[in-house]
Structure 1
Amino acid sequence: MLIAYLDEFGHVGPFVSRDHARHNSHPVFGYAGYIIPAKNARYFGAEFLRVKRTLFRTEIEEAKNPAQWERKGAEYFSTGSITKRPEQVRAFTGLVTKLLANGGNLFYYGDEKLRGTVKETRKTSEDYTVDALRETINRICRHAERKGEEVVIFMDDFTEKSRRELVVQMYGHIYERTKSYDEMRLIVEPPLHIDSKVNSSVQFADWVCGLVGRAADYQLIADSTFSWVEEKFAPKITGSFTYESKIRMLGKEPDIHNSEILKDPRILNGTRQVGSIGNLNPQLAAFYEKLRTSPKVTA
């Protein structure tokens, strides 16, 4: 059996542009983390806990509740932390090496969001959450089929109301999709929720989300400040992601697959450019704007 540990990356709210007064957080929303054989999950969780306690010994010792102290992925992968504390790069890449040695892989799935407000795009936070989680489950089941294993998914906890609503919708999704896709029979239950404060495995999934979120920003935003993703992480962990990992792009191609998310911006139209095609090529940008503002657009 496999266990997938997941958390959210990007931002579930609307995105207009990086310089917009309100909707400026992130152009992608999705789920990321890692998948590991169940027999090795406890060992890897203990290894993560050892590394975390070594890196952040002072902070943990000074915390009111040391057992529940955690470093969030967004903080771990801030530009300041990565440039000033090279030991964090070594620690993370070392953990990925341990993960691979124990039969595991990193994983992500995300959707590029329509640019605009909720009124303009007709896409709510709930829409993005449900769409991304459905496809995340599909792709993890496909990975499980390739491995010949059943799979259980653990995710960081939500509010009780959100958790109940999502569980109901995912039960329905799994049941309906099982009629046409046999791999859906491999998921034991819809995603189960656990508080990251008491589970070190989910905390590492949050670290993976921190890196994937920075990498997606670098791929899609022309003036992204996260160019260090390629320099510091691509040489070390390329090949670590599942075949099924993907960012689905809107109104343009190509999608971003597995370790491509770590690489220098893609070669587009024969020249190296930063950012997504729709934001850079005038004709495609006009097409994308028309697509974005159409009331019939769906994700």
Structure 2
Amino acid sequence: MAGNSQRRGAVRKDGTKKGQVKGSGGERRKSLEGKGPTPRADQRPGHPKQRAAAARDRAQKSREKRSEGPEIIAGRNPVVESLRADVPATALYVALNIDADDRVSEAVQRAGDKGISILEIPREELDRKTGRAMHQGLGLQVPPFDYAHPDELLSASADSGEPPLLVALDGVTDPRNLGAVIRSAAAFGAQGVLLPGRRSAGMTAVAWRTSAGTAAKLPVAIATNLTRQLKAWAAEGLMIVGLDADGTVDIDKLGLATGPLVIVVGSEGRGLSRLVRETCDATVSIPMSAGVESLNASVAAGVLLAEVARRRRVAGRV
């Protein structure tokens, strides 16, 4: 009989047993059992709300990663300027046996008035704390920067009572340029600055110093994906304008300036990335004299922000 052969070497193969197999091994009962309540939308893999929640978690982790420890602003002028600008600080380090001048006296006086701890330490220790920067005997410790969420920038623009004006940086890696852009953004009425989660400068001591304290007054957020965030803002009605040397619109003809606007500033070398450029509704250029190829990223951003502010003032008087 097939399957019961007594021939030497005969082997029964799986699934060849004939006849009724008793029971279902519990499979029938399992198939009838419920799977429990339907998970919330933000817990269902692939659901838009779940993806949005995951993006917020990644942004939070990115903010925490960028805020691992305090920064030290080094140098007599930078320290005094930061204290004048009310940059939040937790300690003022003064090197032992320092040659005091007016800047040192002012720094100590302002720190004392603000309730900031004043600590005298050996010069060698201050060298170590500042990464051997040119500290001139003074160092100001600032806490880790508290980054905002991109949604908070839109909320800040809504609360301002003015048409939204936001600035996004695409690959700007020099902290001095970052600080300068933040300073210009605050000066010309922008409500926030957006940084990408990768390949971007963060709010270091250098950026704090260059911003002249305006980073304490203007929200700076991190986007997990810059292109996706720009598209989300476009869906909210904001126009996306990229600053580019080969822009299709001259700055003198930027009619979008008076409406809800996001200005995107490219990196110091390669400018706007391809995906960001494709997301922009328009790219704008700044005319320059012959023989000059381009402007520094922060200078170009300041020029465009000043023009947007001028057009909005004129529109407000009409």
Which structure has more RCO (C-alpha within 8 Å, separation ≥ 6)? 1
Q: TM-score range by the shorter chain?
A: under 0.3
TM-score, scaled to structure 1: 0.24
Higher Cα Rg, which structure:
2
The structure where helix makes up a greater share of residues is 1
TM-score, scaled to structure 2: 0.23
